[in-house]
Copies of this chain bind each other. A is one copy, B any other.
Amino acid sequence: MRPKLTLKQIARELDVSISTVSKALKDSPEIGEDTKQKIKAFAKLYNYKPNNIALSLKNRKTKTIGIIIPEIVHYFFTTVISGVEQVANEKGYNVIVCLSNNSFDREVLNLDLLANGSTDGFILSLAKETMQKEDYHHLTEVINQGMPVVLFDRVVDEVHCDKVIIDDIIGAKKAVEHLIETGCKKIGILTTVDYVSVGKLRTRGYIEALEENDYPVDEDLILKIEDMENSEKEIGEFLKTRDVDGLFAVNEQFAVSAIGALRRQGRNVPEDVSVVGFTDGELSKNFIPSLTTVSQHGTRMGAEAAHLLIDKLERKPDEVESYKTVIVETSLVRRESTKN
């Protein structure tokens, strides 16, 4: 018998993309008949077994949940995993984690790997590249075959399934309103470029909060950072020429970079400038001054996602299928980087 091939090997051998192989084997109308036949014949010759999820779901329960996340060296995602673990273990489920490293191909490969009889369902946050490509066939296929999927944090309307998100706009508004309430008059924002969806939403929340409180929106006080590697330098330059007394940073990293820069410029936090961050990690808790921040509650998001998934897995066959979107509320954690 010839050796068994993987999706990736087939793609390499035939010099087509992983996505094309994946779609062809699933008989997608997007792929031409010729290509489909070639790929199918090759796969058959080399003994590639495409997933038959429906069959495997019928035959056995693995009691295992798969998580696919874009990055691992990232506090928020690790807290989500931890939340999924807690609920899953309580309910007698195992958890397996795979990383997409923000690559579309790896996301497709991981889904293929885990859907192949190792797991009963998925909890997933989309890779950056998948969102850029807007190609979700791998997910819709799995869902159509009857495998439950829960998307969290990075979600899209195109995929119909349960979702867990936080309201970034409301979170950002809480941050800016806290600055207003504690007496700040000139409030700047350190944010990301607009194609990063959470940055865009948080910027919108900042603008809404200002407008609702009759504060002027000054474009000159909005810094959109493109290059994360050089964010520290950019923030330093920006602050040198801005006479702000309040700052909202859309992540923890921007907030501590700002405090460092302000200190070097002889401005004290919070006496001269109040600073609020987003995401409540180790850095916010332990920094001096400790950071006032909008907490995303990753653990709770993971727990909600696990509950949604397990509910679907243990649903009675005659129950009507419906999808929920759970919004996990953010909360403002007040610490030393803002005034009382």
Are B64 and A73 neighbours in the complex by a CB distance under 8 Å?
no
Q: Does A106 contact B (CB under 8 A)?
A: yes
For the complex, what is the distance from the CA of A60 to the CA of B81, rounded to whole Å? 30
Given contacts A72-B78, A79-B73, A98-B97, A64 and B113 within 8 Å (CB-CB): yes
Q: Does A201 contact B (CB under 8 A)?
A: no
Are B288 and A259 neighbours in the complex by a CB distance under 8 Å?
yes
Flag A78-102 by CB within 8 Å of B: 1 or 0 each.
Answer: 1101100100010010111111010
Are A73 and B75 neighbours in the complex by a CB distance under 8 Å?
yes
For the complex, what is the distance from the CA of A106 to the CA of B88, rounded to whole Å? 12
A271 to chain B minimum Cβ distance, whole angstroms, is 15
Q: Does A315 contact B (CB under 8 A)?
A: no
Q: How large is the interface on A (under 10, 10 to 19, 20 to 34, 35 or more residues)?
A: 35 or more
Q: Does A324 contact B (CB under 8 A)?
A: no
**Residues of chain B lying within 8 A (CB to CB) of residue A113:** 64, 94, 96
A71 to chain B minimum Cβ distance, whole angstroms, is 9
Are A106 and B89 neighbours in the complex by a CB distance under 8 Å?
yes
For the complex, what is the distance from the CA of A274 to the CA of B64, rounded to whole Å? 48
Given contacts A63-B6, A94-B110, A260 and B282 within 8 Å (CB-CB): no
Are B92 and A99 neighbours in the complex by a CB distance under 8 Å?
no
Given contacts A78-B73, A288-B260, A98 and B101 within 8 Å (CB-CB): no
Residue from B85, B97, B253 within 8 A of A96 (CB atoms): B97
A-B CB contact pairs (8 Å), 10 listed: A4-B60, A6-B92, A8-B92, A74-B78, A97-B97, A97-B98, A118-B118, A253-B286, A260-B286, A263-B288
Known: A73-B79, A263-B288. 16 other contacts (CB 8 A): A8-B92, A9-B92, A72-B78, A73-B78, A78-B78, A85-B99, A89-B106, A94-B113, A96-B98, A96-B113, A97-B97, A253-B282, A256-B286, A259-B288, A282-B282, A282-B283
